[in-house]
Copies of this chain bind each other. A is one copy, B any other.
Amino acid sequence: MIVGLGLIGGSYAKGLKKLGFHLSAIARRQETIDYALKNDIIDEGTITADPEFIKKADIVVFALYPHVFKEWIRDNQQFFKPGAIITDVTGVKSCVVYDIQNMLRDDVEFIAAHPMAGKEVYGVENADEKIFYGANYIIVPTEKNTDEAIEICRELALLLQFGRISSLSPEEHDEMIGFVSQLTHCIAITLMNCSDNELLVNYVGDSFRDLTRIARINENMWSELFLLNKDSLLNEMDKFLAEFKSLRDELAAEDTEGMKEKMRISTVRRALFDK
């Protein structure tokens, strides 16, 4: 079962249904369910937390906003089938994983995961299981997780054709995501806020297009994600500011060697990504 049929939840459903799994889903709006049924993304769906519907599921993937995810578990966990495994796709972990694990019934296990994939568009209409092909997938276990649940989570990633599957603690995950995901969104937002020149589109090259693709952003989701990871993200923003200031000061001082050294480092490090 998938709870939350947005871009990511819809893409999970689409990918798994094509593999022959029976897919049920709970969404907020009936139109979402209707679209998903009509387009063969799910087998059955509902917009209420129907006990009979929920208790049929062996594995449940939550693709909700963090605070909605917690509320849903608080209000509806009594309906889970005993032995059910639940997992998620939430972009922040420390503030979610422990709270959920602490409030959850003993006979249900929550194993957290973060698929490092997305698109700058939203909704089940844009669901596309190909965004996962070869993408990174991070499993975020705690001491409470069993090897069996971690293995089920890994198999889910393999079924969806993710590439590298790795494992981080909630704290390591949040630090990493503050850097590779949240900081980059802050940069893209900032770039687009720097200039209100409507003719920009005539002058940009691929570099500006690439750096701002993610500037089309869901402000409700991302402001929540930023606040829930505030300390890590502030730390990454400050490190970036200091490093950027250093390059700026080298340029001001015409320190060519200093600038070249930073460029050599960036070239060598970035080359590792292309293997």
Contacts and interface: CB of A to CB of B under 8 A. Distances in A.
Contact of A203 (B166, B206, B209, B248): B166
Given A238-B248, A243-B190, A216 B270 contact: yes
Nearest to A214: B207
Interface string A186-223: 11111111111011111111111111111111111011
Given A180-B208, A189-B262, A269-B192, A234 B248 contact: yes
Contacts of A240: 190-191, 194, 244
B188 A118 contact: no
A247 B186 contact: yes
A208 to B, nearest CB: 4
Contacts of A168: 203
A209 B204 CA distance: 19
A193 B241 CA distance: 12
A40 to B, nearest CB: 26
B180 A244 contact: no
A66 to B, nearest CB: 14
A212 B269 CA distance: 10
Contacts of A220: 260
Number of copies of this kind of chain in the complex: 2
A267 B185 CA distance: 11
A202 B135 CA distance: 9
A185 B136 CA distance: 25
A210 B206 CA distance: 10
A33 B223 CA distance: 54
A270 B215 contact: yes
A252 interface: yes
Interface string A167-185: 0100000001101110111
Q: How large is the interface on A (under 10, 10 to 19, 20 to 34, 35 or more residues)?
A: 35 or more
Contact of A239 (B194, B208, B238, B267): B194
B251 A237 contact: yes
B226 A208 contact: no
A100 interface: no
A259 interface: yes
Nearest to A222: B263
Interface of A: 116-118, 135-136, 138, 164, 166, 168, 176-177, 179-181, 183-196, 198-220, 222-223, 226-227, 230, 233-234, 236-241, 243-245, 247-248, 251-252, 254, 256, 259-260, 262-267, 269-273, 275
4 tightest Cβ-Cβ pairs between the two chains A and B: A192-B266, A116-B205, A219-B263, A215-B266
